[in-house]
Amino acid sequence: MSSSLSDRSARVREGEANPLGGVTSKYPGPRAQISRNRNLSWWRRILPVIESHRATFFIAIGLSFVSLVFQVLVPNMLANDIDHTLVKHVSSLHNDVVAIVIVGLLAGVTGIISRQYVYDTAYNVEADLRSLIYEHLTWLSFSFYDRVQSGQLISRANSDIRSVQMYATFAPLIVVQCSIGVIAFGFMLYINWILALIAMIVMPILYFVGIKMRRVMFPISWITQARLADVATIVDENVNGVRVVKSFAQEEAEVNRLADDAERVAWAYIKDANIRAVWSPWVQNLPQLGLALVLLFGGWMVLQGRLLYGEILAFNAYLLMLQAPFMMLGQLVMMGQRAKASAERIFEILDERPEVVDRPGAYDLEHVTGAIDFNHVTFTYANGAEILTDFDAHVAPGETVALVGRTGSGKSTVARLMTRFYDVSDGAITIDSHDLRDVTLHSLRENVGVVLDEAFLFSVSIRENIAYGRPDAPIEEVITAARAANAHEFIVRLPEGYDTVVGERGYTLSGGQRQRIAIARTLLLNPPILILDDATSAIDVHVESGIYEALRGLLTQRTTIVIAHRISTIALASRVLLLEEGRVVASGTHDELLANVPLYSQILAQATPGEPS
């Protein structure tokens, strides 16, 4: 899988066209994968992604270090100015002021450049992680989407990634500040080692407070991120299902449902805030105790003449520098625990392995004539429901076969198995004697076109939707496909014709219009095998007859499986396979089955347009 993802990233870097618009993306794609070793800590698994941006990352860290070094020099310079210029008058005040201004400007400039590189690294790492998740999602099998809510995926691709990105890029800067704290402590030892040790009395206590804080923060961080994902799921469902919600007047119920989950998020945030309220004051105020001790003993030393005024001033400045990293300790711990919880949620997706993949040695399916064999196929979904049982059938090259059966008899499952959305549980499906599991998925889906019963359109122009599988297709071929699907007439009547942008999921069009565009999208690919999965269920009977008149000539050039409910659809087929409880119970022409098989007549009598398969 990782090699497939790398190949895809390479294709993006080479400037491959965008499948929706034909526009090449400027984003080069992720440069590295996360580590697949699940025994490593979460940050070590993320490390390869950060290392792929090592140039900007190390420039940011290096300049941040240089900026802080300049800042460390200022208190010592100020102490010398006070003790030698203002008290002893042994040097020029003007030169000292100029030197401090120069050092301050250098600290400011390097700090600004450092911050720019930090943000550059941070947002590139975030983009890489998001791309890795999206790429992985595109390769996962349908069984994964059968059991995972889309809102959970959206949450992990947004808020979880942001938490990881913030910690992964900003935590090193805090570490740099800690290293500057070591330098500051060195100056403190140089000024007065006894006073330096007194100042450090509280530091061991801060360490143990940080350890305890980390332990109590992780569980609530995980709960918070999980509940945010639940809210995202509800919002996603309500946005996509708004027509159903309004149709059943369930607005209030859905608002209450969202309010309940929002309250659970609020509880998690309040719990998080309570933990911070208990532990943050310790982290923030313990260093002040060290400052008080320094003032007490340092002031006594000044009065005794054992410490100069400038030295005590510089010492306090260094102590404040030393305290800054510890002041950030609480924030770092909280960011770290939230990042750890988010990273583990991301890994749950990235560690998921697709069930349907190319076998080792898989080869491309080429020169397809269209002979299809179902050899005693059995299929069971992950929930344990057995749909097909000893399904056995043969479809000759160029033949059009209709699948007819009750709801749940397995008609749509046959379409999903033909494109390897799922793999058979037992038996085999072959095309031209090639087992589908032995050929590459890409070549299989290039040769088997499917028009699903639910037509999904993207929020782009009609032309781009029809040309989705062939973004570079000339407009003449797009129009030809639209004519074959009986869609051209309504398209040219739209305000901008083929350049009309459809709304989300194509809901600005009628159901029949969406299905005709979906049919045109598949016909433009001109696959040797075509599967129409109840593809005209939302189309008016009169419009449907026009589509079939246009399709008849096309169907003679390819092998076609039609999943049908209407007699008009069945009329396209030269042969009908009757399914019952996942197996073929009768085969023949429409007239033969109507005359000899009572079950066939019953099914046709009960079927209604748009009935799901």
* pLDDT at 17 exceeding the cut of 50: no
- Rounded Cα distance between 452 and 613, Å, is 11
Confidence band of 298 (pLDDT split at 50, 70, 90): confident
Residue 566 has what pLDDT? 73
Residues 492-516: what's their mean pLDDT? 82
Side chain identity, residue 199: A
Residues 590-597: what's their mean pLDDT? 89
Domain match, 425 and 572 both? yes
Domain match, 346 and 376 both? no
Joined together, the tokens standing for residue 538 give 């939302």
* pLDDT at 541 exceeding the cut of 90: no
Domain match, 396 and 295 both? no
Give, rounded to a whole angstrom, the gap between the first and last alpha carbons of the chain: 33
As beta bridge partners, residue 435 has: 430
- Asked if residues 451 and 535 have their Cβ atoms less than 8 Å apart, the reply is yes
Joined together, the tokens standing for residue 338 give 């939230």
Domain match, 328 and 228 both? yes
To 10 degrees, what angle do helices 329-350 and 42-51 make? 90
Indicate which CATH number applies to the domain containing 545: 3.40.50.300
Domain match, 340 and 445 both? no
In a domain, 164, yes or no: yes
Q: Tens digit of pLDDT for each residue in 429-447?
A: 999 999 999 999 989 988 9
Domain match, 117 and 49 both? yes
Low-confidence winner among 58-72, 331-345, 369-383, 538-552 (lowest mean pLDDT)? 538-552
Confidence band of 16 (pLDDT split at 50, 70, 90): very low
Domain match, 63 and 170 both? yes
Residues 587-605: what's their mean pLDDT? 89
Low-confidence winner among 40-49, 64-73, 463-472, 536-545 (lowest mean pLDDT)? 536-545
Residue 552 has what pLDDT? 67
Residue 1 has what pLDDT? 41
In a domain, 613, yes or no: no
For residue 437, the enclosing domain spans: 372-606
Instruction: Among 320, 350, 380, give the residue marking a domain's end.
Output: 350
- Asked if residues 335 and 167 have their Cβ atoms less than 8 Å apart, the reply is yes
Residues 121-149: what's their mean pLDDT? 83
Residues 306-314: what's their mean pLDDT? 74
Side chain identity, residue 216: V
Domain match, 89 and 223 both? yes
Domain match, 539 and 413 both? yes
Domain match, 319 and 376 both? no
- Asked if residues 444 and 410 have their Cβ atoms less than 8 Å apart, the reply is no
Domain match, 294 and 146 both? yes
Confidence band of 326 (pLDDT split at 50, 70, 90): low
Side chain identity, residue 374: F
DSSP 499: G
Q: What percent of the chain has pLDDT over 70?
A: 82
Indicate which CATH number applies to the domain containing 336: 1.20.1560.10
In a domain, 116, yes or no: yes
Split into its structural domains, the chain has a count of 2
The mean pLDDT value of the chain amounts to: 79
Q: Tens digit of pLDDT for each residue in 408-425?
A: 888 888 988 998 989 999
Element holding 449 (H helix, E strand) = strand 448-451
In a domain, 298, yes or no: yes
In a domain, 255, yes or no: yes
Cα–Cα–Cα angle for 366, 369, 375, nearest 5°? 95
* pLDDT at 280 exceeding the cut of 50: yes
Is 237 or 357 the better-scoring residue by pLDDT?
A: 357
Is 488 or 260 the better-scoring residue by pLDDT?
A: 488
Confidence band of 501 (pLDDT split at 50, 70, 90): confident
Residues 509-537: what's their mean pLDDT? 82
H, E, C per residue of 81-131 = HHHHHHHCCCCCHHHHHHHHHHHHHHHHHHHHHHHHHHHHHHHHHHHHHHH
Residue 241 has what pLDDT? 62
Determine whether 146 is exposed, middle or buried from the number of CB atoms within 10 Å of its CB (0-12, 13-18, 19+): exposed
- Rounded Cα distance between 179 and 181, Å, is 5
Confidence band of 575 (pLDDT split at 50, 70, 90): very high
Residue 27 has what pLDDT? 58
- Asked if residues 184 and 321 have their Cβ atoms less than 8 Å apart, the reply is yes
Sorted by sequence, the CB contacts under 8 Å of residue 379 that are 6+ apart come out as: 386, 387, 388, 391, 410, 413, 417, 422, 424, 425, 426, 582
Domain match, 97 and 230 both? yes
In a domain, 362, yes or no: no
Is 312 or 450 the better-scoring residue by pLDDT?
A: 450
Residue 237 has what pLDDT? 64
In a domain, 363, yes or no: no
* pLDDT at 15 exceeding the cut of 50: no
In a domain, 180, yes or no: yes
